[in-house]
Amino acid sequence: MRFSRRTLTALTKSISETHTHTDIDMLAFELGWENAAVGSSKLARCFSMVKEMRRASEEAGNDGPIAELIEITLQSASEYQLKNLESLSGLLASLEVDGFEFNGAKLIPGTPTPASTSSEVSALEGALQDFGMNVAAEHYKQACDNLVDGNFESANSQIRSFLEDLFISICDKICGKSFGDASAALQHLRDKGVIEPSEWNTFRGFWDTCQTNGSHHGLTNSEEALYRLHMATAISRYLIHILREA
């Protein structure tokens, strides 16, 4: 499944907020899912349909129908709605996390080959919890949620808090040394040979970047916040790998 639960949730909200009951009837009929669009409210009907489509897609190993539903939903939205309706902007942001962009007509990979992070997001959250890093896991979840909600400054702030707790926790778990400062924890990981000097330099450089723009309104945007999420995901997955091998 290329599309995360966050994306499908945003899709459900987007359809219910931009379609009347009659519109939903016609959409479900067009796509062949009229028996799945059941419920007492628009949101309930959309959720029922999207949930059934997800189940069928997983069984068939083909999420093409969901991609088609996303495209139809975005195509039918006005430019004003795409920019100002929270559910639609959230859908677009969540698609970017999954590795896709909407070009006005269809979904296209965000990179030459889709660099989706949706599976990594789920795996990373689970790994953090498995190792008892629940505070880091919560910061990471908040970063993802804020990005999807369009709160880019808050997403950056949560990414910084996530990395701070991650570096300190990894150092404590591998080296048995507790620091109150992320930079000191990173330095100790290098000194003990846990990470290579070049890796330390990359992590330190990104950590320094996270000290700027953070939660200051107007100093960041979706592209920067998405870049930080990708970088934080890659760094943390690598450090979790080292922790498993230690």
Query: Domain extents for the chain?
Result: 5-109, 118-245
Would you state the pLDDT for residue 65?
A: 92
Give the tens place of pLDDT for each residue, 107-128: 887 654 445 556 666 678 888 9
DSSP conformation letters of 11-38: HHHHHHHH--HHHHHHHHHHHT-TTT--
Categorize the per-residue pLDDT at 188 as very low, low, confident or very high, splitting at 50, 70 and 90: very high
| Between 27 and 122, residue with greater pLDDT | 27
In the predicted model, what is the mean pLDDT of the chain? 88
Cβ neighbours of residue 31 closer than 8 Å, sequence gap 6 or more:
65, 68, 69, 72
Neighbours of 159 (CB within 10 A): 26
Query: What letter represents residue 26's amino acid?
Result: M
Q: Which residue has the higher pLDDT, 97 or 197?
A: 197
CA distances in angstroms from 129 to 9, 63, 95, 96, listed in the order given: 23, 29, 25, 25
- Give the contacts of 232 (CB within 8 A, at least 6 positions apart): 140, 143, 159, 162, 163, 206
Neighbours of 104 (CB within 10 A): 9
Strands of the chain, DSSP E: 100-102, 107-109
Give the whole-angstrom CA distance, residue 141 versus residue 159: 9
- Just give the CATH number of 118-245: 1.20.120
What global pTM score does this model have? 0.66
> Model confidence over 199-218: pLDDT tens digits?
999 999 999 988 876 655 56
Residues 143 and 125 sit within 8 Å (Cβ to Cβ): no
pLDDT above 90 coverage of the chain, percent: 59
Q: Could you tell me the two tokens for 126? A: 């689970």
